[in-house]
Amino acid sequence: MEPVILPHRPPVLAVTAVLARDDDAGVIAVRIPPDWSLLIDGRAPAVLGIELLAQAAAAWAAGDGAPGVLLRCRAMRFHVPSLPVDVDLVAHVRRADGASGQLAAFEGRLLRGDDCLVSGTLLVQRLAG
């Protein structure tokens, strides 16, 4: 496992480990902290899956030292109304076609076991280092 290098700090840091990483994809362990300020009555709305996938993409990209910001999402699918809190989840992110230069597109899936909770594509702008 690689160390996690993100600017996020608890309780908003959801990435717990980089499980696998290659030139095009990553498998990232994530967990929604129970004290995250974005929870509603102790529940995590499925839309928070966007943040989990964005953190996973950032954890993958941190391997080359280039920070970035989320610009947009497309084709997001929320397969559940809420996400489990304080439970180990796995985010799969893969570089997608359709971006160049300072822009990077990622296809992402957030899984609990074999169940896909959230999926979609993120467009990220890499910041000059």
Over residues 62-108, the pLDDT tens digits come to 765 566 778 899 999 999 999 999 999 999 999 987 656 678 889 99
Is the CB of residue 38 less than 8 Å from the CB of residue 26?
no
Report the 10 Å Cβ neighbour count for 29. Answer: 18
Domain 15-126, architecture per CATH = Roll (3.10)
Q: Phi and psi of 92, rounded to 5°? A: -105, 120
Cβ contact 52:16 at 8 Å: no
pTM recorded for the entire structure: 0.88
Instruction: Assess contact for 84 and 19: CB atoms under 8 A.
Output: no
